[in-house]
Structure 1
């Protein structure tokens, strides 16, 4: 499979604008929010812009695409009202994905806030069971940096939710989150060991997408702050080993890198292409 790498694109002015933005980055896959991720809000995607998005993605061979769910969604919560809002929000996201012919909806498991790890994972699995996921759409659970009571930082958390739910889930690994959670990626040996552990615990066959981000903080700090590819504490050697690893080569890579120091998504897309051997 040829390299699939792109970035998170804005839908300002209409979701179809994400197509042109992705092309400006020289990306060939990508991610969007269907609305502001900081508030409870329903996707508001018109039929015309949805058609333009679908046509543009097909015309320029841009895909797969991912919708990233709202940051407010908490599948692990023991609170009934927050659970209800989270499930409702996720249902609207998977329906929006179907409307756009988007393959994936990505979600963080959330925080158990006192329910305990096992209780939180149970809550997440049962919340996901409430979704009516349209054909052609898959929910991805994302690895987390693991601060506080947030779950998903441990590969076992991802595997447990996948075992306990009836949904056919897949996984999105975030390199900065993995690193923050204590999975070293800074050397070729560390990459081999971390991905072997992921394959053993979760299964590489269920890896559908990677958020490719370097980290501004040391391994195991639980601090989630992204850096330009190869310029953070994972570094060029780790990133090169990761993007060329046998378990990763056919997986689409989506950048959530910062825009700073004169470098933006376009720079990072080109950097990934340079690292790919």
Structure 2
């Protein structure tokens, strides 16, 4: 089954994310367990978790992915931030296990002077400290590659996977890929991008996709999402990506803006239209 959904709110209880997803017309989705802009433990009790699991199963919504806090920086050379990042990630994977969510998504962060190799070493060793419950997988998300942030190249993603003792997989973000220099605006560019990913990382590591168009050009390192088919990746590129054999069984989740009278529901329907094109 084709899986498309959007980021959903857990306001009022995590189970409400399922109802919101159904309103979007989605059948998979992403959540934050708490505000992503503060250091905070997920506050999900057993009753809430059970309701979430039951509603997800009843409505056929899944797989879900938890997006980790924006404050997490796995590449940092600063010990205090490193320990906070590890503790935050441990809380997220534990919450995922309680909720029956199979994936926790995380950005590698910025090396802030440690250098690329040092940053990748830091990220791999930080992730190796996690005690990840059975049934949960940490996904490393591709980045737009600005400043000292890592994960903008397939080589950097592969570098963490190769260094880390933990079994890791990848979430590709189309807007981030485009901003980092992977041209997804044509069918040929999409083919080449997937061929490079398979050669460097391995297509078997691709478990989820953040599907977003881009307001900025290829290689600009500028991360600003656009409605599907209405950014600089465009309809042709988005259609080629959505229908590519490499992602035939991979779930897509939207992080598109709510503007110009267009919401997640509009974008979910747009993706379904392009998938059938």
Please give the range of the TM-score, normalised by the shorter of the 2 chains.
Answer: over 0.9
Q: Is 1:166 aligned to 2:165, yes or no? A: yes
Alpha-carbon separation, structure 1, partners of 2:76 and 2:215:
29
Residue 111 of structure 1 aligns to a residue whose secondary structure is coil
Cα offset, 1:48, TM superposition: 1.1
Alpha-carbon separation, structure 2, partners of 1:29 and 1:274:
17
Question: Which residue matches 1:261?
Answer: 260
Two-structure CA RMSD over aligned residues (Å): 0.4
Question: Which residue matches 2:120?
Answer: 121
Cα offset, 1:46, TM superposition: 1.4
Cα offset, 1:168, TM superposition: 0.5
CA deviations over 1:17-48 (Å, ceiling 9, x no partner): 00000000010000000000000000000111
Residue 150 of structure 1 aligns to a residue whose secondary structure is coil
Alpha-carbon separation, structure 1, partners of 2:194 and 2:110:
25
Q: Is 1:250 aligned to 2:255, yes or no? A: no
Question: Which residue matches 1:94?
Answer: 93
Alpha-carbon separation, structure 2, partners of 1:139 and 1:275:
29
CA deviations over 1:232-272 (Å, ceiling 9, x no partner): 00000000000000001110000000000000000000000
Residue 246 of structure 2 aligns to a residue whose secondary structure is coil
Alpha-carbon separation, structure 2, partners of 1:194 and 1:49:
40
Residue 126 of structure 1 aligns to a residue whose secondary structure is helix
Alpha-carbon separation, structure 2, partners of 1:127 and 1:29:
29
Residue 161 of structure 2 aligns to a residue whose secondary structure is helix
Question: Which residue matches 1:8?
Answer: 7
Question: Which residue matches 1:40?
Answer: 39
Residue 146 of structure 1 aligns to a residue whose secondary structure is coil
Residue 152 of structure 2 aligns to a residue whose secondary structure is coil
Residue 254 of structure 1 aligns to a residue whose secondary structure is strand
Alpha-carbon separation, structure 2, partners of 1:8 and 1:169:
22
Residue 86 of structure 2 aligns to a residue whose secondary structure is helix
Alpha-carbon separation, structure 1, partners of 2:55 and 2:157:
34
After the TM superposition, list the runs of 4 or more consecutive aligned residues in structure 1 that deviate by more than 6 angstroms. none
Alpha-carbon separation, structure 1, partners of 2:142 and 2:63:
19
For residues 202-213 of structure 1, the aligned pairs below 5 Å read 202-213=201-212
Alpha-carbon separation, structure 2, partners of 1:248 and 1:225:
23
Alpha-carbon separation, structure 2, partners of 1:57 and 1:15:
11
CA deviations over 1:170-203 (Å, ceiling 9, x no partner): 0000000000000000000110011110111001
- Name structure 2 gaps, 5 residues minimum: none
For residues 153-232 of structure 1, the aligned pairs below 5 Å read 153-232=152-231
TM-score for both structures, normalised by structure 1: 0.99
Alpha-carbon separation, structure 1, partners of 2:45 and 2:270:
35
Question: Which residue matches 1:109?
Answer: 108
Alpha-carbon separation, structure 2, partners of 1:224 and 1:249:
26
TM-score for both structures, normalised by structure 2: 0.99
Q: Is 1:273 aligned to 2:272, yes or no? A: yes
Cα offset, 1:49, TM superposition: 1.1
